[in-house]
Structure 1
Amino acid sequence: MTETKRLVETITKGIQEKKGSKIVVADLNGVDGAIANYFVICQGNSPTQIEAIAESIGETVRKELKEKPTHVVGLGLNQWVAIDFVDVMVHVFLPEMRTFYDLEHLWADAKLTHLPDLD
């Protein structure tokens, strides 16, 4: 498994630990103009949960892979938090913000993998 795929799996684990839902992994390899190899997109039900998911992602990646994001945007408002791990860009949305920006369809050429929600 590549380091990038391991990073995607670890990010996903961090999301699931805080009950983030509707996780989609967009494989942007080979997509012209893509700013990362993968997007990981998910949602939480409240600003508090968005913040908890974002913190869980950072903590899980730091503990398991000894990596830190290069940039985090949106904490404080907690409606859309973007976490940049260079090769992987994570987007944690409130449902209405996710619907509005519709990132899954913005990158129409990407291969999308929808992960089942955990109970």
Structure 2
Amino acid sequence: MTKKTDIAESIFQTDSPGKTSDSKKLIDAIVEGLLEKKAKNIKLLDVRALTTLTDFFVVCHGTSETQIRALANSAIEKVKEELEENVWKKEGMDARRWIILDYVNVVVHIFSEEKRQYYGIERMWNDAEITEIEDTP
């Protein structure tokens, strides 16, 4: 069983504690689902100061189309199981090269390694506070 990664509490400090508390729980569930299926290079981008579209991006990649779909399904199932929340919108489940799971205040991007390098979300949002997520033993 994969243990949850503890994401620094400091990035969730804001004037709206309910929203960020909910975001932390949501991100924890998403990350746990991704780690269970061995997601690669998981990063959390705090984009609250840069856009009104969302608060956070979770970005990772998989090594095959099968794993990419499994990562998305695992994140969806973990959020549903732990928080009883459904994904608002999802795209790319058929192509499995770039899957987007939109939970409104948290958007998950699951790429193939090639697509991740090509689109460079971390480079595009380089002003965001970026936290690298690692699996804890």
TM-score class normalised by the smaller sequence: over 0.9
| 2:34 paired residue number | 15
In structure 1, C-alpha distance between the alignment counterparts of 2:136 and 2:90, rounded to whole Å: 25
Q: Which has the larger radius of gyration?
A: 2
Q: CA deviation at 1:111?
A: 0.1
| 2:114 paired residue number | 96
Bigger shift: residues 1-10 or 82-91: 1-10
**How well do the aligned residues superpose, as a CA RMSD in angstroms?**
1.4
Gaps of 5+ in 1: none
Identity %, equivalent residues = 36
Report the TM-score, using the length of structure 2 for normalisation: 0.82
Spell out the pairing of 1:66-85 with structure 2 (5 A cutoff). 66-85=84-103
1:44-95 Cα distance to aligned partner (Å, 9 max, x none):
0000000000000000000000101110000011000000000000000000
Q: Secondary structure at the match of 1:99?
A: helix
Bigger shift: residues 104-113 or 89-98: 104-113
Report the TM-score, using the length of structure 1 for normalisation: 0.94
1:111 paired to 2:129: yes
